Amino acid sequence: MDNEIKTAAEAFEAEVLPRRYEVRIDRENLQAQDEEVPGTAGGKSVAQKSPAQWAYERIVLYLKKFEEQLDADHEVAMGFTGADAGVLRIVGMGYFDPDIITFYGADPAGGRMQQIQHVSQLNVILRALPKAVKGEAPNRIGFRLVQDLEKEAGQQPATT
């Protein structure tokens, strides 16, 4: 048992984290919340995961589902709210326990970008951008991130 003190609200929130609920008009397409998080990445149960790890794993599913709906001429990018930073073409993602999520990428002109965000401020807008390099296969970061989670959990990676 740890000596961490939690408010009643924090304890309640920790108990409900794995649950999800959504009402949608468009139910033909399965969404990320319809997917199971791939295994217990790193061998940890949900109760053992930091807020950053738990947020990271769920965002990975959103990225993969968004990419499944893109054509071969588009890649996933992340838009920003409340800033003139534009968009970030996502090429990597990570977390820093206990509460930081990081997105790595480039702007449409190719300039390097990195978004560092606290899980309590997490706000991700996924956008489709034309491929960075015409003629090459589109970059599918969501699929690679899911494979990494499955590998960590000791599962066979899903094929698509």
Residue range 17-68, pLDDT digits in tens: 554 445 555 555 555 555 665 555 556 776 788 888 888 888 888 888 888 8
Half-sphere exposure of 125 (CA within 13 A, CB side): 11
H-helix segments, 32-83: 51-68
Longest CA pairwise span in the chain (Å) = 56
Domain count across the chain: 1
Per-residue pLDDT tens over the stretch 107-158: 888 888 889 999 998 888 888 988 888 888 888 888 888 888 777 777 655 5
pTM over 0.75: no
- For residue 1, give the 3-state DSSP assignment: coil
Which residue type sits at 151? K
- The mean per-residue pLDDT over the stretch 72-85 comes to 83
Whether residue 114 lies inside any domain: the answer is yes
Cα separation, 69 vs 156, whole angstroms: 23
Whether residue 145 lies inside any domain: the answer is yes
pLDDT of 84 over the 80 cut: no
pLDDT of 2 over the 60 cut: no
Residues 6 or more apart whose Cβ sits within 8 Å of residue 122: 55, 101
Whether residue 157 lies inside any domain: the answer is no
Where are any strands of DSSP class E within the chain? Answer: 74-79, 87-96, 100-106, 112-118, 125-130
Structural domain range at position 34: 8-152
Half-sphere exposure of 141 (CA within 13 A, CB side): 22
Whether residue 1 lies inside any domain: the answer is no
